[in-house]
């Protein structure tokens, strides 16, 4: 039995601290109690991402807030409507899918009041999508228009012509999606096609071919057009491209067509009588449309309209057998939008031979288009060669500033980079499917200033599938120049981790600090005390790892333990750690990871009681690996502690140190004196025991709904 808690009598900071420990269902209920309670919830500044409304025989509102998907289902009653607030709800069901599952049922408010309440506490003014489905005509269209008067996209999934006409009349929009064939649905579809929409989607739910013809597309006046289930052939596409080149569809920025037939189209027939240029697939461009969509398109076939506007056409094969045409508004020398079309065909084009455009400079005579085409032939040649061999691309990037820009334009997917400092400096750069390892061998003696000019540079490339490529290059660039060069080519600004190993003392720390000035994490692998002190002095960090006992490496280790790190790991491998309970109590990091500790149940019990009273207030996660393989006695660990044991299938979510969530199954729950909940898991791996303690409880969710939510996110 719990006693009442005068929450609103606390200072504002105290109220917010308590409210942040609640789950979503609790603080939504809190916001309904009073105006002051609602203001408290508003001050949490919940991150509203997107929201949508579905209207059928009931009304559902879906909202993504932070990492949670909320579903509000409003079921109407038969009572008379309130003229001021609209229909009253017979029942309101709330389901929250992640990170915590909550189900609530409430009565007593009209939908309009509910919507106003949502907008206030979640800080948004319009819904992302408004969708009308079957049976939406059960509601008064005027009342719906008043309630849902602000939205960005309108979607209609109805087989009734009168319903569709009524919705289009009462709900004007810039982005429209009709989930049916408009030519079967409407007697006269042309008033819809000629509207100046930013986006028009016609997506029939059946697999039958759409009745849309070439003339229908030519009068469509939207910026982004997405048509599905077309039964067009090469002749129709050829006629459309020729019309576009003469000036049709002047507002169009992107066209996407999904064909009903899985058969590949004949490219020669599509471009018959059309001047075009095919670009290699490695040549990429980014397309930006009026609806905010940005796609990176590789290769394609370029054509020009009579006013000089360029379009790129690509073909692709997907589960819908779709072909896409896009227009880019960034490739014009004039002030008006300059489109680039791109068709995507069923099989991406790749030349059968190794021939490439001639590497000749663009002619200074002739039209501007010819000079532009010559420039892009050179870029295509360089990019294609570089794509074939990564080691060649590195060598190519060193030839000139122009060659470096060409290699940089390949936009490799950068993952992370790590620097390993010992008697030499090794740099590991991980891309999407390869790892590049540079080794900079230095001259003997202390390395600083000009001596950081490597006498030899080795590059090893590890591919997926595995192919080990070795290349050696003689010196010429300093390590600083190498790092600057690699950051420009691979588009990154800081290193993920700096690893300091033995023999780091041969380097001047100030020189290293100048070289590696931006990084996320520092790993100290050296057992030299003077090295460790110098590293800690010159390389401040939020995330720190000691690969040996901190008490061996430092004269006064508590100066390190009390720092406000986000992540502190003390990894002891060869012998038991000397860390004591008093040492752990002074650690002020958010995430703490300690290995090979010799504690038993008594020390853990004392630590938990100290934490319950308020020690380690910043800690969000603690992981302890024990040196002994013997299982711990849970009864002794929780002696005198009020805790609850949960079965292994019971899942909860906790906040981690990097603003994500971690899943905890089973374990023991207990509360700190301020109400903060924590859980402890005991696990065994390779005959070794370890403990996980997570703080900042977010809630519970079953596995099926967690997977559903992850797919939605």
pLDDT recorded at residue 292 = 56
CA distance 32 to 29: 5
Q: Which two tokens stand for residue 293?
A: 């969509």
The predicted-structure confidence for 538-579, as pLDDT tens digits, reads as follows 999 999 998 876 767 777 888 888 899 999 998 876 677 888
> Is-contact 224 288, C-beta < 8 A?
no
pLDDT recorded at residue 433 = 75
Alpha helices in 499-594 (DSSP H): 509-515, 529-538, 550-553, 558-561, 581-586
* pLDDT at residue 166 greater than cutoff 50: yes
| Residue 438 CB-half CA count within 13 A | 22
The predicted-structure confidence for 230-246, as pLDDT tens digits, reads as follows 888 889 999 999 999 99
Q: pLDDT band for position 507 (50/70/90)?
A: confident
Higher pLDDT, 378 or 267: 267
pLDDT recorded at residue 77 = 60
Q: Mean pLDDT across the stretch 459-488?
A: 73
Q: pLDDT band for position 445 (50/70/90)?
A: low
CA distance 708 to 713: 9
Q: pLDDT band for position 5 (50/70/90)?
A: low
pLDDT recorded at residue 441 = 83
| Beta-carbon contacts of residue 161 (< 8 Å; ≥ 6 apart) | 185, 186, 187
Higher pLDDT, 537 or 345: 537
Alpha helices in 539-600 (DSSP H): 550-553, 558-561, 581-586
Q: Which two tokens stand for residue 680?
A: 């402890």
CA distance 430 to 393: 16
Buried residues in 441-454 as b, exposed as e (16+ CB within 10 A):
ebeeeebeeebbbb
- Kindly report the pTM of this predicted structure: 0.48
Higher pLDDT, 288 or 433: 433
Q: Mean pLDDT across the stretch 124-146?
A: 86
Crossing angle for the helix pair 479-490 and 390-397, to the nearest 10 degrees: 120
pLDDT recorded at residue 542 = 92
CA distance 536 to 235: 70
Q: Which two tokens stand for residue 660?
A: 């994500």
The predicted-structure confidence for 296-335, as pLDDT tens digits, reads as follows 677 788 888 888 888 888 877 654 333 444 434 333 333 3
Higher pLDDT, 281 or 392: 281
* pLDDT at residue 78 greater than cutoff 70: no
Task: Write the DSSP assignment of 16-41 as a string of letters.
Answer: HHHHHTS-HHHHHHHHTT-HHHHHHH
Q: pLDDT band for position 495 (50/70/90)?
A: very high
> Is-contact 581 558, C-beta < 8 A?
no
Write phi, then psi, for 262 (nearest 5 degrees). Answer: -80, -5
From its phi and psi, is residue 616 left (phi > 0), alpha (psi between -120 and 50) or beta? left
pLDDT recorded at residue 70 = 79
Question: Strand pairing partners for 515?
Answer: none
Least confident window among 25-39, 101-115, 510-524: 101-115
Q: What is the chain's Cα-based Rg?
A: 32
CA distance 472 to 467: 17
Q: Mean pLDDT across the stretch 623-643?
A: 88
pLDDT recorded at residue 568 = 92
């Amino acid at each position: 039995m719990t006693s009442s808690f005068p929450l609103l009598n606390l200072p504002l900071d105290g109220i917010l601290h308590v409210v942040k420990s609640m789950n979503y269902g609790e603080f939504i209920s809190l916001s309904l109690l009073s105006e002051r309670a609602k203001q408290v919830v508003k001050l949490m500044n919940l991150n509203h991402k997107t929201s949508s409304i579905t209207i059928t025989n009931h009304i559902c509102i879906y909202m993504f807030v932070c990492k949670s998907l909320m579903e509000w289902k409003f079921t109407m009653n038969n009572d008379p409507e309130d003229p001021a607030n609209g229909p009253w709800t017979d029942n309101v069901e709330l389901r929250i899918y992640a990170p915590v599952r909550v189900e609530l049922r409430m009565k007593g408010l009209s939908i309009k009041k509910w919507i106003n309440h949502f907008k206030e506490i979640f800080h948004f003014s319009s819904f992302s999508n408004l969708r009308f489905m079957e049976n939406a005509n059960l509601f008064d269209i005027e009342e719906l228009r008043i309630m849902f008067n602000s939205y960005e996209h309108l979607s209609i999934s109805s087989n009734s012509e009168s319903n569709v006409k009524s919705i289009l009349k009462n709900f004007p929009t810039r982005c429209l999606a009709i989930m049916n064939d408009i030519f079967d649905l409407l007697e006269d579809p042309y008033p819809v096609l000629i509207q100046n929409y930013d986006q028009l989607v016609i997506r029939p739910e059946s697999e039958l071919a759409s009745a849309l013809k070439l003339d229908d597309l030519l009068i469509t006046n939207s910026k982004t057009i997405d048509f599905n289930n077309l039964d067009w052939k090469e002749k129709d596409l050829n006629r459309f491209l020729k019309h576009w080149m003469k000036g049709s569809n002047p507002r169009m920025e992107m066209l996407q067509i999904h064909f009903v037939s899985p058969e590949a189209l004949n490219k020669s027939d599509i471009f018959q009588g059309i001047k075009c240029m095919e670009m290699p697939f490695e040549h990429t461009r980014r397309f930006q449309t009026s609806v905010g969509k940005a796609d990176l398109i590789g290769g394609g076939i370029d054509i020009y309209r009579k006013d000089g506007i360029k379009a790129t056409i690509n073909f692709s094969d997907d589960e819908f057998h779709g072909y896409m045409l896009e227009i880019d508004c960034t490739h014009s020398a004039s002030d008006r939008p300059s489109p680039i079309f791109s068709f995507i065909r069923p099989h991406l084009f790749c030349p059968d031979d190794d021939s490439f455009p001639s590497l000749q400079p663009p002619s200074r005579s002739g039209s501007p288009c010819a000079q532009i085409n010559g420039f892009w032939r050179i870029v295509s040649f360089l990019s294609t060669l570089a794509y074939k061999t990564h080691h060649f691309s590195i060598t190519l990037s060193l030839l000139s500033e122009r060659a470096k820009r060409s290699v940089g334009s390949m936009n490799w997917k950068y993952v992370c980079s790590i620097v390993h400092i010992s008697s030499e400096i090794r740099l590991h750069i991980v891309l999407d499917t390869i790892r590049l390892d540079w080794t900079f061998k230095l001259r003997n003696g202390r390395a600083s200033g000009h001596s950081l000019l490597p006498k030899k540079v080795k590059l090893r490339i590890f591919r997926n599938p595995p192919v080990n490529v070795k290349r050696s290059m003689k010196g010429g660039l300093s390590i600083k120049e190498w790092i600057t060069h690699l950051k420009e080519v691979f588009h990154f600004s800081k290193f993920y981790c700096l690893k300091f190993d033995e023999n780091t003392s041969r380097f001047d720390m100030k020189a290293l600090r100048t070289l590696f000035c931006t990084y996320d994490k520092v790993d100290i692998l050296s057992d030299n005390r003077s090295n460790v002190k110098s590293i800690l002095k010159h390389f401040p960090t939020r995330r720190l790892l000691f690969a040996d006992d901190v008490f061996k490496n430092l004269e006064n280790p508590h100066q390190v333990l009390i720092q406000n790190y986000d992540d502190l790991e003390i990894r002891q491998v060869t012998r038991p750690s000397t860390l004591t309970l008093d040492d752990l109590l002074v650690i002020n990091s958010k995430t703490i990871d300690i290995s090979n500790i010799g504690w038993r149940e008594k020390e853990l019990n004392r630590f938990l009681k100290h934490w319950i009273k308020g020690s380690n207030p910043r800690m969000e996660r603690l992981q302890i690996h024990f040196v002994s393989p013997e299982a711990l006695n849970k009864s002794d660990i929780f002696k005198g502690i009020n805790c609850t044991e949960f079965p292994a299938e019971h899942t909860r979510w906790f906040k981690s140190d990097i603003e994500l969530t971690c899943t905890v199954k089973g374990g023991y729950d207990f509360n700190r004196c301020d109400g903060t909940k924590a859980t402890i898991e005991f696990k065994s791996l390779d005959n070794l025991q370890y403990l996980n303690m997570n703080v900042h409880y977010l809630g519970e969710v079953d596995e099926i709904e967690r997977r559903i939510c992850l797919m939605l996110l």
